[in-house]
Structure 1
Amino acid sequence: MRLFFIIISLITSGHVNAIEVYDFKNEQQRELYQELTEELRCLVCQNQNLADSDADLAKDLKDQVAEFVINGQDKDTILAYMVQRYGDFVTYNPPLNPSTFFLWFSPFMVLLLGAVILIYNIRKKQK
């Protein structure tokens, strides 16, 4: 019975260990693919890049990036397509514009708010 469960577990977990294999024409294409998948953010996980993510959407995006690379698209064209299709959030370094202002400056605003609260509490305790 134990052997049965082990066999069933191995059969059903095969997709977890699947490795994407793409037929790149040369080493430069492989390196470009790896660079892009490390630079693009998984839209489901949000804190992982495409290379590290196992989400279904990330797999689809990796397939799409691989197809673009194999078809000879350059890095800027692929990034422009991804940003146009999925928004600036898909990159780890979005450009500074009105729609990404919050992404760039929210950490500083939180830090400033924390400092104001800390100073207020220190002054309150000193009185």
Structure 2
Amino acid sequence: MRYFIQFLLLLTLINPLYAETIDATIFTTPKQEQRYQALIGEIRCPVCQGQSIGGSNASLAQDLRAKVRSLILQDKTNDDIRQFMVDRYGDFVVFKPPMNANTYLLWFLPFAFLAFAMFLLMRSFGRKEPAINLDTSKAKELLK
């Protein structure tokens, strides 16, 4: 019984370490809440780099969610909110980066690589070496 009580005591001490906060967001209209959910899914967490700010528990992601909420309540458009985040954190912060001089390689390099691979593939099919004609009489003489 003593070990069981110690185990329960240990569980009560460890449990707060894994507790997560729940964002209690209050909006005036359901449309604002839909915009909020869509935007926090589109903006990447600068700390986690693979998650959206909606799925991240980092403190910066919590701050960014609060900022998105405040900008929505200020009646900013989705484009204005995205532009605010891009101005502050760079093009990396959005999952769909804009097409500009800094991101041309990101947009067009896969297509250039595909075109180059297709060129090499077509070139390898087009170049067929002629079959080697061996004169069997010469081969027989060499084998003697």
Q: TM-score, normalised by structure 1?
A: 0.77
Q: Does 1:71 align with 2:74?
A: yes
Q: Deviations over 1:71-91 (max 9, x none)?
A: 221211111111111111111
Please say which structure displays the higher CA radius of gyration: 2
Q: Deviations over 1:55-100 (max 9, x none)?
A: 2221111111011112221211111111111111111111111111
- Separation in structure 1 between the aligned mates of residue 17 and residue 95 of structure 2, nearest angstrom: 34
- Separation in structure 1 between the aligned mates of residue 93 and residue 67 of structure 2, nearest angstrom: 14
Amino acid at match of 2:65: K
Q: Which has the higher contact order (CA 8 A, sep 6+)?
A: 1
Q: Does 1:86 align with 2:89?
A: yes
| Distance verdict in 2 for CA 1:4–1:93, change over 3 Å | same
Q: Deviations over 1:16-54 (max 9, x none)?
A: x21111111110110010010111111122222111112
| Distance verdict in 2 for CA 1:47–1:13, change over 3 Å | closer
- Separation in structure 2 between the aligned mates of residue 104 and residue 55 of structure 1, nearest angstrom: 29
> Which residue in 2 is equivalent to 1:11?
16
- Structure 1 residues without counterparts, runs of 5 or longer: 123-127
Amino acid at match of 2:85: M
CA RMSD for the aligned pairs?
2.4
| Distance verdict in 2 for CA 1:36–1:103, change over 3 Å | same
Could you tell which deviates more after superposition, 100-109 or 76-85?
Answer: 100-109
- Structure 2 residues without counterparts, runs of 5 or longer: 1-5, 125-144
